Structure 1
Amino acid sequence: MSRLHVFDLDGTLIQGSAAAVEISRQLGLESEIGALERAFAAGELSPPQFAERAVALWAELTEAQVAAAFEGAPWLDGIREVWARIRARGERCAVISLSPGFFVERLLDWGADAAHGSLWPSVPFREPLDPAGILDASAKVRIADELCAAYGLSRSDLVAYGDSMSDAKLFAAVPVSVSVAINADHHVRDIASHAYTGRDLREAYELVVDRG
């Protein structure tokens, strides 16, 4: 049996933080991004509105700062090992995140078969943000379906890993799901097939390997 394992980024692979937070830390803008994150979580900002404000906030962002944010993020232990195990079994692994694609796509070097994030201007920003390129929760389901089609799979072959409301639609659409977080949002915790609390993806993966 082949399966596609789909991973969220913020709060899941990155524990207790998010790509936007780690990028903002490089710029000394933790309090500013914190205010945007709280407004987004409260439903006061849509994904495109959040992205538009973040682009303005990161006007001086450089590739070196993006690289430093990626390298310094609080990643779960065992990510590369889990993805290697998945691929060794003839299965696939992908990351789908609302975060900027220029951050998410760096995970291809860690062994992900696919990595999809929101479409932002290239760094340093010289072009305007196109709101149509910013992903939302529904987009996660659409992209997962597209990947299934590309790999000759169906939704019945999907395993989803996530932590928050942005993962709820995907969790509801797949047969197997794992809430992965120190404090998973009730939107996913209440509907997940399995729950993992910890900092090692190898342990979360053990909940689903050779199981439904």
Structure 2
Amino acid sequence: MVRLIAFDLEGTLVKSVSSWVELHKRFGTWDKGKEYAELFFSGRIDYVEWAELDASLWKGHTRDEIVEWANSVEYMEGAKELIGFLRENDFRIAILSSGLMCLAGRIARELEVDYVFANELIFDENGLVTGKVNPLVDFKSKGTILRELKEELKPELTVAVGDGFNDLSMFREADVSIAINPHEGVEGDHNVESLHEVMEIIRGLIEERGQ
């Protein structure tokens, strides 16, 4: 028996709002970053172009600078407790983030999750940002990734937890969707304010199935 749960990362498991925005602010490139975001949301550029335009603003910055930021991001209250509970109850755990792997990879290692998908900045041999990106998770593809995981694992229950518009595609693939402190216009089957509430919903789902 396998169960599957997919988490958004930023604003869901950790207190960062957006890797992209926070690095723009750290490196003083937010004014230009806002312009690129407007181009994407108005449909004038696609996600890959948007990611590479953003990353191009950071050319010459070091991997160490990026990792220093990633290591500073704190967990949401209850995150570690929730992941432990899920592991005890036969869940395979996935992180699906449209943020950056420098943060998602760190959290995945620390929480020992089974799968992690995020976008990767490309560094040169000297550890400098090249401006290129490996865009593994575009703005709409979380649903595709979750569907492929379901096909591989054939879980008896699939849950998705997130807070933003790009989580809606994985909500549609899940048996049960949970929106945590959702952005305006985002709704799940359950809308909650904390990871403790997420755990109670999942506990209820397990008990409903008599297992």
Please, what TM-score do these two structures have when normalized by structure 2?
0.80
Q: How far, CA to CA, are the matches of 2:11 and 2:65 in structure 1?
A: 20
User: Hey, what does 1:143 align to over in structure 2?
Assistant: 145
User: Hey, what does 1:17 align to over in structure 2?
Assistant: 17
Residue 208 in 1 paired to residue 202 in 2?
yes
Q: What root-mean-square deviation, in Å, do the aligned CA atoms of Structure 1 and Structure 2 show?
A: 2.6
Greater percentage in strand: 2
Q: SS where residue 196 of structure 2 aligns?
A: helix
Tell me by how many angstroms 1:18 deviates: 0.8
**Conserved? CA contact 1:9–1:96, under 8 Å:** yes
Tell me by how many angstroms 1:2 deviates: 3.1
Q: 1:137 to 1:208 in 2, by over 3 A?
A: farther
Please, what TM-score do these two structures have when normalized by structure 1?
0.80
Q: How far, CA to CA, are the matches of 1:40 and 1:72 in structure 2?
A: 28
Tell me by how many angstroms 1:37 deviates: 4.0
Q: 1:68 to 1:129 in 2, by over 3 A?
A: closer
**Conserved? CA contact 1:51–1:134, under 8 Å:** no
One-letter amino acid of the structure 1 residue matched with residue 203 of structure 2: V
**Conserved? CA contact 1:137–1:168, under 8 Å:** no
Residue 124 in 1 paired to residue 124 in 2?
no
One-letter amino acid of the structure 1 residue matched with residue 97 of structure 2: S
**Conserved? CA contact 2:2–2:90, under 8 Å:** yes
For residues 105-136 of structure 1, give each alpha carbon's deviation from its aligned partner in whole angstroms, at most 9, with x where no partner exists: 22222222111012431352247445xx4422
Larger Rg: 2
Tell me by how many angstroms 1:153 deviates: 2.3
**Conserved? CA contact 2:165–2:183, under 8 Å:** no
**Conserved? CA contact 2:8–2:161, under 8 Å:** yes
State percent identity of aligned pairs.
Answer: 22
**Conserved? CA contact 2:96–2:142, under 8 Å:** yes
Task: Give the gaps of 5 or more residues in structure 1.
Answer: none
User: Hey, what does 2:189 align to over in structure 1?
Assistant: 193
Tell me by how many angstroms 1:34 deviates: 4.0
Tell me by how many angstroms 1:22 deviates: 2.4
One-letter amino acid of the structure 2 residue matched with residue 110 of structure 1: E
For residues 130-166 of structure 1, give each alpha carbon's deviation from its aligned partner in whole angstroms, at most 9, with x where no partner exists: 5xx442244212222333344x324x52100111221
One-letter amino acid of the structure 1 residue matched with residue 100 of structure 2: P
**Conserved? CA contact 1:9–1:18, under 8 Å:** no
One-letter amino acid of the structure 1 residue matched with residue 117 of structure 2: H
Q: 1:137 to 1:29 in 2, by over 3 A?
A: closer
For residues 95-110 of structure 1, the aligned pairs below 5 Å read: 95-110=95-110
For residues 176-196 of structure 1, give each alpha carbon's deviation from its aligned partner in whole angstroms, at most 9, with x where no partner exists: 011112x4231x31xx11001
Q: How far, CA to CA, are the matches of 2:180 and 2:87 in structure 1?
A: 21
Q: How far, CA to CA, are the matches of 2:196 and 2:38 in structure 1?
A: 30
Q: 1:108 to 1:176 in 2, by over 3 A?
A: same
**Conserved? CA contact 2:7–2:162, under 8 Å:** yes
Residue 115 in 1 paired to residue 116 in 2?
yes
Q: How far, CA to CA, are the matches of 1:81 and 1:35 in structure 2?
A: 39
Q: How far, CA to CA, are the matches of 2:42 and 2:201 in structure 1?
A: 31
Task: Give the gaps of 5 or more residues in structure 2.
Answer: none
One-letter amino acid of the structure 2 residue matched with residue 139 of structure 1: S
Q: How far, CA to CA, are the matches of 2:129 and 2:97 in structure 1?
A: 20
| Length, aligned pairs only | 202
Tell me by how many angstroms 1:56 deviates: 0.7
